[in-house]
Amino acid sequence: MQALVIGSSGGVGAALTRQLRADPRYSMVASLSRSEDGLDITDETSISDAAQRLLDMHGHFSLIINATGALVIHGHAPEKSIKAISPAAMAQQFLVNAVGPALLLKHFHALLPRQGQGVFASLSARVGSIGDNRLGGWISYRAAKAAQNQIVKTASLEIARTHPDAVVVALHPGTVETRLSQSFTKGHHTMTPDEAARKLLAVIEKLRPAQTGGFFSYDGQPIEW
């Protein structure tokens, strides 16, 4: 089996890469990131070139994980109320947390095997759940992650037509002790990146084609849309 982690320079992405490379079941684990490879998930040419290069070099991957994402972009922290909405900041949230994952699915789903199970897992966030929203705030980030969830769900239906055994899911990694969340973890149960990666990989291992299009937490429980 071969695996690919996109966003491998982040806290969770790096932990996922380390653990997959230590797993003897995987003959090769590739990684992509902005800092290591110049991958820009907001630029379609960058994404399509990377996908074609990996397909030419390694063929198909039984596991592809999108671990990209951002909470604070260009100094703009999550809004505390609707009064703080900035059109430019909201657009950036959608570009990174929704458009980027959509482009990754567009170009990288072709790297999944057409025969036999392959998994494309995209790291989302529980705050992207509309049904689970009981606190408000963080409007741009919530909306962008909700959009990503819809993208994953919709893409899963299309991909199933050409890859009948594929599993395309959104995963919530929990509140992880990374640079992305370090200013927002007060009062929340947190995990180290390695702990989060172990739990996510355990969830991925149990996924089956019937669960494609789902949204799951790090403990394996489904999350409402």
For the record, the structure tokens of 193 come out as: 């990146």
Greatest Cα pair distance, the chain, in angstroms, is: 52
* Phi/psi at 182 (5° precision): -60, -25
Which residues are CB-contacts of 77 (< 8 A; sequence separation ≥ 6)?
Answer: 71, 183
Contact of 119 with 62, CB cutoff 8 Å: yes
In sequence order, the β-bridge partners of residue 78 are: none
**Percent of all residues in the chain with a pLDDT value above 90, rounded to a whole number:** 87
- Give the span between the Cα atoms of 175 and 17, in whole angstroms: 19
Residue 182 has pLDDT above 70, yes or no: no
Q: Nearest-5° angle of CA 98, CA 139, CA 213?
A: 40
Task: Give domain status of residue 224, yes or no.
Answer: no
pTM of the model: 0.93
- Give the span between the Cα atoms of 165 and 35, in whole angstroms: 33
Task: Give domain status of residue 82, yes or no.
Answer: yes
Q: Which domain holds residue 176?
A: 2-217
Task: Give domain status of residue 222, yes or no.
Answer: no
Residue 185 has pLDDT above 60, yes or no: no
Which residues are CB-contacts of 140 (< 8 A; sequence separation ≥ 6)?
Answer: 78, 79, 85, 86, 89, 90, 93, 94
Summarised one tens digit per residue, pLDDT across range 157-172 is: 999 999 999 999 999 9
187 pLDDT tier (thresholds 50, 70, 90): low
8 pLDDT tier (thresholds 50, 70, 90): very high
- So what's the pLDDT on residue 188? 59
Summarised one tens digit per residue, pLDDT across range 82-111 is: 999 999 999 999 999 999 999 999 999 999
Residue 120 has pLDDT above 70, yes or no: yes
* HEC string for 79-113: CCCHHHCCHHHHHHHHHHHHHHHHHHHHHHHHHCC
Task: Give domain status of residue 111, yes or no.
Answer: yes
For the record, the structure tokens of 61 come out as: 């991957």
* Phi/psi at 81 (5° precision): -155, 165
- So what's the pLDDT on residue 201? 98
Please tell me which residue, 109 or 133, carries the higher pLDDT value.
109
Summarised one tens digit per residue, pLDDT across range 139-159 is: 999 999 999 999 999 999 999
Task: Give domain status of residue 186, yes or no.
Answer: yes
Task: Give domain status of residue 57, yes or no.
Answer: yes
What average pLDDT does the segment 192-217 reach? 97
Task: Give domain status of residue 223, yes or no.
Answer: no
CATH number, residue 9: 3.40.50.720
Residue 24 has pLDDT above 80, yes or no: yes
- So what's the pLDDT on residue 189? 76
Give the total number of structural domains in the chain: 1
Q: Please give the mean pLDDT across all residues of the chain.
A: 94
Task: Give domain status of residue 225, yes or no.
Answer: no
In angstroms, the Cα distances linking 77 to 81, 139, 181 are: 12, 11, 11
